[in-house]
Every structure is written in C-alpha cells, then in structure tokens.
C-alpha cells in the first residue's frame, strides 16, 4: 500500500478523501446534537427522516447529476461538490427549524452523491495497473473503517472544549481542505468523448451496462447480500445491546467497533487475497461469511437471548459480518473498472453507487420496521434474502466462468484461436 501512496496524484486524492470523511464524521455527531436541540425526544424521528433523505439523494439524484456533469472536467466536478458541501456545513449552525435540516441535508448529500462516484471512477485512470488499483481500494476501505471508529472519539474530545456548533466548522474545514488538495492534484487528461448522446441518452447508460454485463450482474447480487448483513448491524445493534441483553451505552459502541474491526482486518489483507484468488472467489467467500453471520444472528436471537454467552457470541458474529462485508465491497470496484470504458466509467460507478444504496431502502425497513415487531423475524427475513441473493451470485459466477472458458477454447475451422470475446462492458 505504501507503493501506491508514492504516486503524487493518488496521494493528494486519497488525502482529500480522508479529510472529507473526517468532516463527514464530525457532521454526523453534530447533526444528532442539533436534532436533539430542536426536537428533543423526537430527535430520532428527525435523524431517521434525514437518513431517508440521504438515501433518496443517493439513489435518485446521483444518476441525474452524473449524466448532467459527465462531460465536465473531473477536477471541476469534484471541487464544485466540495464547495457546495463546505457552504452547507457553514449553514447548518444557523438552522432554527427541523425542515431546514431536511433541505440542507438533501443538498449536501446530493453533492456527496456527485463527489463519491466521480472520485472513485478517477482512480483507475490514476493507477491503471490492476494490482496498484486493488491496493488503492484497500486503502479506501481502511479510510472508511477508521473514520467510523475515530470520528466519534475525535468529536467527543472536541466537545470537551467547544460547543457542538463548532463541529460544523470542522466539517467545513475538512471539505475545504479536500477541495484544495483536488485543485493541486495533477489529474490525468480526460479522453475525448466523440459521442453525440444527449443527457437523456446518457442517463440510463450505467444501468444498461450493469444489465448487459455478467460480472456487474454478479456485483448487483452481492450488493443485496451486503445490504442485508449491514442492516442488522447498523439498525439493530442498539436493540440487541440495550433491549435484548440489557447492557449500557458502551455496549453499543463495542458492537459497532467489532463490526469495524472485522472490516479493517480484511481490508489489510485483500490485496494478497485478490492477487492469489482473483476477484469473484473472495467476494463469494465474503458473501458466504455474511450469510453464516446472519444465520448465527438468528440462532442467537432465537435461543441465547437469556444466556450469558449470547452477548459475546453476538460480538463474534458482528466481527464476521464486518469481515464478510469488506471481503465483498473492497475488491468489487475492480469489476467495475474492468467492465467500463474511460468514457462511461463515471456513469457506471454512479450506477453502482445508486443501485447499492437502493438495496438499503429494502433492508433498512426490514431490520427497523419488522425488527420493531419481532427481532427474530427480521433476522430470519434478512438471512433468507441474503441466502437467495448469494445462491444467485454463485450461479451467475459459474455461468460467467463457463462462458469465458468456452470462448477461450473455441477455435475456427483452420484450427487457429477464435477472436477474443467482446470487452466486459459490451458483453450481453
């Protein structure tokens, strides 16, 4: 991983990502405190609505904006998104009504939905060698996991000396530093796009590539598995910690930390795993680990809620779910890079961004609404959903492997090797 950080352009972009993530982490804490100030005991409902708005922006706005800015210079898009997020962060301390939170969160998350896919689609051009790109993916995953672990600690330390409104200033500073680093980075030249496609023709491009590319259909199925495993952790950890096992607030922190630690351990080892086994097999192994974790959650919920061993076993299960999630998510972008061209890469990455978050619009309500009635029913439903998606992913991977094998062994009547198959982005 040190090797890829020697690349000056990637180093600047990675630093920009880390600072923006840190700013976002501070924002999460500050937003919760602001919601409590405005709504008191109804703060949970305010935050729940804000998170729903976030998902709507990710799923609905991201493809629209990506098609709109697809032909603009990447640097302008990234800096523009950071500038919008900077302005929103400075505006949040001035909020006096809950509806204002909703409006500002929608604009901020729309900017994030523009920044993230554009940033991700740029890295394959900066690091074209596949092994370097895999290491960059691992570093990116480490950044996300460390942000989730460290941001609350940093926020808590800052709150001992400043009020929570000052955390919004820290958020704004993170976005400003991100923009400066992007401005100073020497980005690769954009390859000319000679197509005459209109906005409405570009809009569904990413989804069309997903629909016709076997490897991306495989990615979509694994997105469902990941969403099921993530939902039970993020939505129901507090229910298990406080409601089921009757523990204190630190237990929730411990549960989420276990999930993050599992993800971190795998992210550190993904490069050599992918080098040895390729991309699909580790992803299938990660999906299997998630399904086994969900089955373990079902057993713990149904049989061990009154047993002292239940809580430690749940923590081990959360570690396994974190490991499985990282094993699926970290290398999956390799398949996106291989199945796209420089001209459509941003649209393909945006499609993955939107489609993967659309899965959470299914699994979050299962974990939350169904879990509010029966935690066991929620765990069983998520386990069944993940198992079905994983079985379909295995079939898709097997069919793709068989098709590629047939193409590689085919010969023409003269005995010479057949022409190479179409590129992944054009495979039907």
**Better-scored residue on pLDDT, 124 or 393:** 393
pLDDT at 421 over 50: no
Where residue 202 falls among pLDDT bands split at 50, 70, 90? low
Q: What is the mean pLDDT of residues 44-69?
A: 75
The pLDDT mean for the chain works out to 82
Q: What is the pLDDT of residues 145-181, one digit of tens each?
A: 777 777 767 777 787 888 888 888 989 999 999 999 9
**150 burial type by CB count under 10 A (0-12 exposed, 13-18 middle, 19+ buried):** middle
User: pLDDT at position 204, please?
Assistant: 67
Q: What average pLDDT does range 175-194 have in this prediction?
A: 80
pLDDT at 331: 87
In this prediction, residue 426 carries a pLDDT of 38
pLDDT at 284 over 50: yes
Reported as half-sphere exposure (CB side, CA atoms, 13 A), residue 7 has a value of 21
Going by pLDDT thresholds of 50, 70 and 90, the confidence category of residue 293 is very high
Residue 259, pLDDT > 50, answer: yes
Q: Is the per-residue pLDDT at 371 higher than 50? A: yes
The yes-or-no verdict on residue 410 having pLDDT over 90 is no
Pair 252, 355: CB distance under 8 Å: no
What share of the chain has pLDDT > 70, as a percent? 87
Q: Are 114 and 106 in contact (CB under 8 A)?
A: no
CA angle, residues 68, 71, 77, in degrees to nearest 5: 75
Q: Please state, for a pLDDT cut of 90, what percent of the chain lies above it.
A: 24
How many residues does this entry show for the chain?
428
How far apart are alpha carbons 348 and 330 in whole angstroms? 17
Give the pLDDT band of residue 143 (cuts 50, 70, 90). confident
Q: For the residues 259-271, what does the mean pLDDT come to?
A: 86
Is pLDDT at 413 greater than 70 in this prediction? no
Q: Which residues contact 187 (CB under 8 A, 6 or more apart)?
A: 9, 74, 75, 122, 126
Res 411: pLDDT: 47
The predicted structure's pLDDT at residue 400? 79
Would you say residue 422 has pLDDT above 50?
no
- What pLDDT sits at residue 41? 60
């Amino acid at each position: 991983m040190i090797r890829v950080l020697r690349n000056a352009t990637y180093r600047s972009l990675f630093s920009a990502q880390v600072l923006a993530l840190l700013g976002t982490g501070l924002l999460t804490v500050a937003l919760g405190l602001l919601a409590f100030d405005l709504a008191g005991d109804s703060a949970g409902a305010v935050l729940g609505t804000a998170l729903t708005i976030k998902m709507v922006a990710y799923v609905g706005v991201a493809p629209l904006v990506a098609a709109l800015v697809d032909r603009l210079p990447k640097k302008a898009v990234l800096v523009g998104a950071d500038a919008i997020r900077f302005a929103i962060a400075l505006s949040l301390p001035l909020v006096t009504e809950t509806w204002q939170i909703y409006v500002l969160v929608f604009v901020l998350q729309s900017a994030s939905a523009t920044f993230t896919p554009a940033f991700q689609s740029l890295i394959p051009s900066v690091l074209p060698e596949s092994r370097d790109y895999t290491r960059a993916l691992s570093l990116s995953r480490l950044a996300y996991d460390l942000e989730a672990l460290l941001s609350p600690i940093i926020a808590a330390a800052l709150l001992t000396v400043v009020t929570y409104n000052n955390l919004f200033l820290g958020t704004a500073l993170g976005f400003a530093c991100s923009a400066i680093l992007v401005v100073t980075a020497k980005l690769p030249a954009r390859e000319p796009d000679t197509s005459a496609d209109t906005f409405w023709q570009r809009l569904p491009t990413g989804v069309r590539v997903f629909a016709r590319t076997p490897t991306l259909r495989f990615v979509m199925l694994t997105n469902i598995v990941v969403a099921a495993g993530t939902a039970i952790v993020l939505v129901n950890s507090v229910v298990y910690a406080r409601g089921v096992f009757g523990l204190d607030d630190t237990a929730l922190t411990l549960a989420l930390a276990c999930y993050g630690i599992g993800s971190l351990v795998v992210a550190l080892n993904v490069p050599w795993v992918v080098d040895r086994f390729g991309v699909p097999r580790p992803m299938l192994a990660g999906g299997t680990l998630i399904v086994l974790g969900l089955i373990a959650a079902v057993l713990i919920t149904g049989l061990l809620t009154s047993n002292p061993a239940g809580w430690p076993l749940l923590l081990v299960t959360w570690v396994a779910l974190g490991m499985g999630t990282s094993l699926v998510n970290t290398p999956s972008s390799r398949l996106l890079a291989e199945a796209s061209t420089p001209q459509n890469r941003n649209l393909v990455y945006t499609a993955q961004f939107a489609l993967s978050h659309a899965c959470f619009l299914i699994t979050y309500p299962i974990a939350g609404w169904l879990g509010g009635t029966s935690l066991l029913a929620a765990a069983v439903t998520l386990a069944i959903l993940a198992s079905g998606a994983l079985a379909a992913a295995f079939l898709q991977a097997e069919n793709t492997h068989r098709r590629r094998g047939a193409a590689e062994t085919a010969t023409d009547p003269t005995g010479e090797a057949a022409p190479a198959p179409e590129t992944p982005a054009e495979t039907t």
